[in-house]
Homo-oligomer: A and B are copies of this chain.
Amino acid sequence: MSRNILLLPGDGIGPEIVAEAEKVLASVNEKFSLGLSFDTALVGGAALDDSDSPLPDLTLDKARNADAILLGAVGGPKWDSLPMAKRPEKGLLGLRSNLELFANLRPAILYPQLASASSLKPEVVSGLDIMIVRELTGGIYFGQPRGVRELENGDRQGYNTYAYTESEIRRIGRVAFEAAQQRGKKLCSVDKANVLEVTVLWREIMEDLKREYPDVELSHMYVDNAAMQLVRAPKQFDVIVTGNMFGDILSDEAAMLTGSIGMLPSASLNSQKQGMYEPCHGSAPDIAGQGVANPLATILSAAMMLRYSLGEESAAEAIEAAVSKVLDQGLRTADIMSEGATRVSTREMGEAVLAAL
> Which residues of chain A have a CB within 8 Å of any CB of chain B?
75, 84, 87, 89, 93, 119-121, 124, 140-141, 143, 146-148, 151, 155-167, 192, 194-202, 223-225, 227-233, 245-246, 248-253, 255-257, 259, 261
Contacts and interface: CB of A to CB of B under 8 A. Distances in A.
B231 A249 contact: no
A246 B252 CA distance: 14
B250 A200 contact: no
Contact of A119 (B148, B165, B194, B233): B233
A264 to B, nearest CB: 11
A269 B249 CA distance: 27
Nearest to A166: B156
Contacts of A165: 151, 155-157
A155 B166 contact: yes
B162 A161 contact: yes
Contacts of A198: 148, 158-160
A128 to B, nearest CB: 12
14 contacts: A84-B197, A84-B200, A140-B196, A157-B163, A158-B197, A158-B200, A158-B202, A159-B161, A160-B197, A224-B249, A224-B251, A228-B253, A228-B256, A230-B253
Contacts of A200: 84, 148, 158
